[in-house]
Amino acid sequence: MNTPFYAIDLRCEHLCDPLGLDERLPRFSWRMEDSRPGARQSAWQVVAASTAARLDDKPDLWDSGRVAGDQSLDIVWKGRRLISRQQVWWRVRIWDADGEASAWSTTARFEMGLLQPKDWQAQWIGRSVVTGKDTEPSPFLRRTFTLEGGIVRARLYATARGIFECHLNGRRVGDAFFTPGWTDYSTRAQVAAFDVTDQVQAGPNALGAILADGWYAGYLAWGNTRSCYGVQTSFLGQLEIEYADGRRVIVATGPEWRTATGPILKADFYNGETYDARLAQATWALPAFDDASWAPATLFDPPAKTRLSAPRTAPVRRQQELAVQTQTEPQFGVHVFDLGQNMVGWARIRVRAQAGDTITIRYAEMLNDDGTLYTTNLRSAKATDCYICCGGGEEIWEPRFTFHGFRYVELTGNLHEKPSPADVTGVVIHSEIPPTGVFECSDSMVNQLQSNIVWGQRGNYLEVPTDCPQRDERLGWTGDAQVFIRTACFNRDVAAFFTKWCIDLADAQYADGAFPHVAPDVLRKEQPDPGRGCAAWGDAGVICPWTIYLCYGDTRMLERQYESMAAWMAWREKTSKDLVHGGACFGDWLAPDGNTPRDLIATAYFARTAELMGKTAAALGRRDDARRYAALARRVCAAFNRTFVTPAGRVMGDSQTAYLLALGFNLLPAAKRAPALARLVADIERRGFKLSTGFVGTPLLAPVLTACGRVDVAYKLLLQREYPSWFYSILQGATTMWERWNSYSKEKGFGDAGMNSFNHYAYGAIGEWLYATVAGIDLDPAKPGYKHIIIRPQPGGGLTWARGELLSRYGRIACAWRIEERQLQVDVIIPPNTTATVMLPGRKPERVAAGTHVYKLPWRKQAY
């Protein structure tokens, strides 16, 4: 590269080099790499070709030509029609503000999957369940086939009713877990695509698949419910091999396949995995393996209404390993290993034992006083893996079709020698959500809080945003997802993750427009379910797409979700009386005190989502709708005031949450804001600067106080050490966010085990305030995706420094401040192709361009 600037981080549909797409108009994005101050893109050109060679020579699929403009996100494909299996190589060059062209970027790729039903030759196969009443051994499926030399490309397209792992010629295919992921299988199943060119060979080959119940047939939702989607698991796979001469051979699932059970005696998300190593056949996926004793696979009908679609997000993968911090033996032969961090995944164990010896691995988030595992809060989830040894030396094992939420691992069984810390390793897994944010400050407790928030997100962003990862629940609770999403967007790149989940939400929507409590909706009962359409929960259907648009500038998200968002609003309107929304709802869920009327919450959210719908319509250029929703928002707001606000500005319920909703959603007329704020602050003060809020009120606390000019009170709440507060759980030993402010206390022990998760991210929603207000990185809603950045750190709380970083879609934004002597120094980095407004205490807002900006201002000690 000889220019000082060029395009990097090329993405297609938010992903790097995706395979198996079904988006016929995919979108391209890149970042401008340029360290020169004021760097800005003035034009771009994308070229795309069907081979790498043609890209250099003559791009045959698309040449956009030079297009003037600074757009670098979500440029929609305008090339030739994309067909099944189409391979695309693409690259970009950009022009800077002086009109100079960059060199071409490195080449990126994407590839289409099977777009039409007629592309599929495969049939659904499996092994008939015996009774279907409980978890049965995992079926192994295999077939052999012969290929000629001259293979240039091989792809495996596969999905399952259940979850699968494929093996080709003795090697595992890919590195994803729990494929094809979790969707409402009766509506939509995702087809995973794998590049297996390196795994096929001229001559004999063998392809195999192992199946497990997963979300489809396993235990899911409380009350020992299982088989939410069906009893019988099955697999659909199509291996396509292309030769240099253009011939294509297809090896598909069908009657030639054979099946047997193997070492995986049980595999279930809640209950764990049991593996009998004596039954393992190492060569089962090699061509020479003799499968004469295997039975023919059973053919199953295809699901009637399921559409096969490409995954919109990256799968669950192995992310990190944690070493044991301490080891104890609270009872004879009961070995407990502390990984030092509440995490999600499983333990890999190393043992030396004899054939038939059984090692039992149990998992827990907390310990009882006597050092044994506390598992009551897991409810019916057994969270137990079992390994039956094959003997003959060191054995290393980990499960593959289950996951657990835990910090402690217990080993018991025929352990011939005392295990050592090195015999247990914590394997951390979650959906691929690349890190984007960093937050740090001078207070180690706040840093621990940030760490707890991030671990809460990591453990619960597993295929869908779940409420918790450990007990018999682990569902895509809409309310939890909605309150946390903005924080999530700071910590990690969740654009693709939510693209997928918003489709899950729309898939789960009731015919009348109501959103369910969870998506995918496994709690659905007979219609009409009076529990659906809950305020602050169902509203996720509007808030999540809107937030993804704000944080990533993704307009298509709004376009695609629009119909479902509008249907929700219509349902709201229809089911409210004089625009006051009653309806069943969870209220200010788990609020430790304060009584916020449920219809007040519902009406406040109705006004809020009507306002967001108006903005959504405006962003999409739907002017009439924009006007209509804005008017609706005003009318609901008037109804809110009529019904819940006294002339003196007192809001019904008189709770912190009631005032937070009224102020935070801008529902009060100007004259009533000050009295409302005064009552809110008085309540906080009266409690000794403590909160009384639950899931609905808590996320609003710090942002609303800050917006109303009381950042001092927000800091006091943040730094509060007594119950209820964020620090309280940290002082009780939390390494993740807890479901309740006092899920455990040193003084009183464990809270109600019926609902007591130690990894529940909702209260972690304070994270967005840490980034936006403490570190000072925020966005301008008028220029979504951080095209225009707001830098506005508000030092306080006795902190002497803080720093935040966000890898936005335009590049790295950073703001770091430090108070030294009587000076506040602020270092700001604004990425290329964006602008920012820097707002510092006591100074006029300043508009700046890309580059590094350093400010030094006099600093008087603040009262807070």
Interface contacts to ligand BGC, rule CB under 6 A: 467-468, 473, 477, 479-480, 586, 589, 755, 760
3-state helix, strand, coil in the chain (%, to 5): 25, 35, 40
Peptide bond into 545 cis (omega under 30): no
Q: Which is nearer to ligand BGC, 30 or 738 (CB)?
A: 738
Least distance CB 475 / ligand BGC (angstroms): 7
Q: Which is nearer to ligand BGC, 466 or 603 (CB)?
A: 466
**What is the DSSP secondary-structure string of 824-838?**
EEEEEEEEEEEEEEE
Q: Coil, helix or strand for 706?
A: helix
Q: Which is nearer to ligand BGC, 500 or 760 (CB)?
A: 760
95-130 CB burial, b ≥16 within 10 A, e <16:
bbbeeebbebbebbbbbbbbbeeebbebbbbbbebe
Task: Name the helix (H) or strand (E) containing 502.
Answer: helix 495-508
Least distance CB 585 / ligand BGC (angstroms): 9
Q: Coil, helix or strand for 558?
A: helix
Q: Coil, helix or strand for 752?
A: coil
Measured CA to CA, the distance from residue 172 to residue 165 in angstroms comes to: 7
Least distance CB 534 / ligand BGC (angstroms): 8
DSSP state for residue 761 in the 8-state scheme: -
Least distance CB 360 / ligand BGC (angstroms): 28
**What is the DSSP secondary-structure string of 149-188?**
S-EEEEEEEEEEESEEEEEETTEE-SSEESBT--S-TTTE
**Could you tell me the two tokens for 65?**
């030509």
- Give Cα 577 distance to the centre of its chain: 36
Pairing of strands 373-374, 788-791: unpaired
Least distance CB 408 / ligand BGC (angstroms): 21
Least distance CB 270 / ligand BGC (angstroms): 14
Q: Which is nearer to ligand BGC, 13 or 480 (CB)?
A: 480
Q: Which is nearer to ligand BGC, 468 or 816 (CB)?
A: 468
Measured CA to CA, the distance from residue 15 to residue 358 in angstroms comes to: 43
Q: Is the dihedral of CA 462, 465, 469, 473 positive or negative?
A: negative
Q: Which is nearer to ligand BGC, 309 or 756 (CB)?
A: 756
Our CA angle for 396, 398, 403, nearest 5°, is 165
The question of whether 473 is a catalytic residue gets the answer yes
Least distance CB 599 / ligand BGC (angstroms): 17
Q: Which is nearer to ligand BGC, 349 or 468 (CB)?
A: 468
User: Which position's Cβ is nearest ligand BGC?
Assistant: 467
**What is the DSSP secondary-structure string of 405-450?**
EEEEEEEEES-SS---GGGEEEEEEEE---B-EEEEES-HHHHHHH
Q: Which is nearer to ligand BGC, 85 or 760 (CB)?
A: 760
Least distance CB 598 / ligand BGC (angstroms): 12
* 138: CB partners within 8 A, 6+ apart: 210, 211, 212, 261, 262, 264, 267, 401
Q: Coil, helix or strand for 499?
A: helix
Q: Which is nearer to ligand BGC, 96 or 473 (CB)?
A: 473
CB atoms within 10 A of CB 332: 5
**What is the DSSP secondary-structure string of 595-644?**
---HHHHHHHHHHHHHHHHHHHHHHTT-HHHHHHHHHHHHHHHHHHHHHH
**Could you tell me the two tokens for 159?**
């999905």
Of residues 83, 108, 105, 85, the one with CA closest to residue 94: 105
668-681 CB burial, b ≥16 within 10 A, e <16:
beeebbebbbebbb
Q: Which is nearer to ligand BGC, 237 or 456 (CB)?
A: 456
The question of whether 739 is a catalytic residue gets the answer yes
Least distance CB 478 / ligand BGC (angstroms): 8
Considering 240, 473, 611, 768, which one is annotated as catalytic? 473
Measured CA to CA, the distance from residue 555 to residue 619 in angstroms comes to: 8
Considering 273, 463, 739, 768, which one is annotated as catalytic? 739
Least distance CB 588 / ligand BGC (angstroms): 11
Residues known to be catalytic: 473, 739
